[in-house]
Structure 1
Amino acid sequence: MPRFAANLTFLFTELPFLERFGAAKAAGFDAVEVLFPYDFAAQEMRARLVEHDLAFVLQNTPPPNWAGGDRGFAAVPGSEARFRTDFDRCLRYAGVLKPQHIHVMAGRAQGAVARAAYLRNLRWACARAPGTTLTIEPLNGGDMPGYFLNDFAQAAEILDEVGAPNLGLQFDAYHAQILTEDVAGAWETYGHRAVHVQIAGVPGRHEPRGGAVDWPGFFAAVDRSGYAGWVSAEYNPEASTTEGLGWLAAARG
């Protein structure tokens, strides 16, 4: 059975942010992730992680908040200085929070110039943080119009070209199903590259149950593959978070 983590940017939002850590633990999660933790004091978050014995799985490189604005700058030509400043800010937070992974967001861009900028910035970031696992994640164009990294084959090519041992694939089953219409096939082809997995139901990005994905089959495939990382719940609950956690109990048998 996979090990499940809770994305506190999406889950338990009925609670103030710092109370979500305890709620996640009480609901049966042993790890959490936060997309953009930069609006909160890192030491306060670290205290909650320690208090509730939670692993911290992942944070994204800035932008600084989830409310709006750009979704990263790694592939945006001319934004190298902004990317590097933001990446160093991310590393300062990571020094306190100790995430297992940092997701390097590509941003909205396209074309060969953007690809070259992305490769340069990823190589720089991997060298800048050699002891940290960085991730890249293909996102579907419906949720993220214009996002540079929008295909799994493209992601595989980027990983091979960068060739850094501390760069891996962030496999989001929600985006994979929308992009390929075959999340099982996408996992079979690209799952060996995955260092982190996220889940949400399709359609709707709600609880991972029913819909277009055979969730028991997907979880079984993840187990069979030997993947040993976390599977993070990154979805919008249809009601309160705790009311919708039947999928977690079912996955655990």
Structure 2
Amino acid sequence: MPRFAANLSMMYPEHDFPDRFAAASADGFNAVEYLFPYAYDSTELRLRLDDHGLAQVLFNAPPGAWESGERGIAALPGREAEFRSGIARALEYAAALDCPRLHVMAGLVPPDLTPKERAEHRDTYLANLEWAAEQAAGSEVDILVEPINGRDMPGYFLSRQAEAHAVVREVGAPNLKVQLDLYHCQIVEGDLTTTLRRDLPTGRVGHLQIAGVPDRHEPDSGELDIRHLFGVVDDLGFDGWIGCEYIPRAGTSEGLGWLNHYRGDSA
């Protein structure tokens, strides 16, 4: 049976962030993920996790100037020193929170890159990921890369599953894996059942995420048949987590009927 983690950056917006841990636990979640922990001391976050019996399963490395619109720097030439400093900081938090996965965002690139310029970005990306995976290996942390759709994030360097898997294969680090967000994948290329059946058995997928398409609300309406998709994931024996990275239509707890129904069917 798939295991679900609440994404506290999107879910429970009716609560202040520190109070979202308690709300997720009260709704039966055993794990959480979110974008960034760095606005809080790691000891405070650790206390929230412990007090509510939660595991931290994922967060992102520092993304550059997020408030100014940056969305990662791993594929940006000239930012290598900042990237390495950010990975070091992220790994400190990962150790404090016992978090085994770290998503590294690639960054935004201009739409009119020449083939030579795109190759330079890719070379930078590969070198940075190789370095990050090497640093994380001693802490038993997986580094994740995620294809993101260009509708929500125009210009993001990585958008297709095949590109992400090619990067992982080329770097060749056992702790470098793909973060497969079914929301992004459906928007970019669809064919989710085939994608899951093709990619999950490779062992290169380290984390799944889910949201409804096209509006990124609860995954119980729109284009995705989640009962079918969860069945495929279960049949393939995926033992990782599915992050619920969606924007609730109204109250978060009130919108969890899809999950409660699934749990009841799978009990």
| Band the TM-score falls in, shorter-chain normalisation | over 0.9
Question: Residues 117-171 of structure 1, C-alpha deviation per residue, up to 9 Å, x if partnerless?
Answer: 0000000001111121111110001111111111111111101000001111111
Unpaired runs of 5+ residues, structure 1, are none
1:221 to 224, 228, 232: 232
Moved more, 62-71 or 214-223: 62-71
Matched, 1:118 2:125: yes
User: Per the alignment, in what secondary structure is the counterpart of residue 125 of structure 2?
Assistant: helix
User: Per the alignment, in what secondary structure is the counterpart of residue 138 of structure 1?
Assistant: coil
The answer to whether the 8 A contact 1:35-1:66 is kept is no
Unpaired runs of 5+ residues, structure 2, are none
The answer to whether the 8 A contact 2:64-2:71 is kept is no
2:206 to 170, 195, 206: 195
Q: Residue 90 of structure 2 corresponds to which residue in structure 1? A: 90
Matched, 1:206 2:217: yes
The answer to whether the 8 A contact 1:126-1:134 is kept is yes
Alignment length, in residue pairs?
253
How far 1:71 moved relative to its partner?
1.1
Matched, 1:12 2:12: yes
Q: Residue 60 of structure 1 corresponds to which residue in structure 2? A: 60
- Tell me how far apart the structure 2 counterparts of residues 27 and 196 of structure 1 sit (CA, whole Å): 22
Change in 2 beyond 3 A, CA 1:14/1:68: farther
Moved more, 44-53 or 108-117: 108-117
User: Percent sequence identity over matched residues?
Assistant: 50
Matched, 1:174 2:183: yes
The answer to whether the 8 A contact 2:64-2:73 is kept is no
User: Per the alignment, in what secondary structure is the counterpart of residue 216 of structure 1?
Assistant: helix
1:248 to 234, 259, 262: 259
- Tell me how far apart the structure 1 counterparts of residues 69 and 38 of structure 2 sit (CA, whole Å): 14
User: Per the alignment, in what secondary structure is the counterpart of residue 107 of structure 2?
Assistant: coil
Cα RMSD (Å) of the superposition? 1.3
- Tell me how far apart the structure 1 counterparts of residues 66 and 92 of structure 2 sit (CA, whole Å): 19
Q: Residue 243 of structure 2 corresponds to which residue in structure 1? A: 232
Question: Residues 160-206 of structure 1, C-alpha deviation per residue, up to 9 Å, x if partnerless?
Answer: 00000111111101001111122222212222321111100001000
Q: Which amino acid aligns with 2:74?
A: A
Q: Residue 38 of structure 1 corresponds to which residue in structure 2? A: 38
Q: Residue 134 of structure 2 corresponds to which residue in structure 1? A: 127
- Tell me how far apart the structure 2 counterparts of residues 72 and 118 of structure 1 sit (CA, whole Å): 11
User: Per the alignment, in what secondary structure is the counterpart of residue 24 of structure 1?
Assistant: helix
Change in 2 beyond 3 A, CA 1:64/1:191: same
- Tell me how far apart the structure 1 counterparts of residues 246 and 151 of structure 2 sit (CA, whole Å): 16
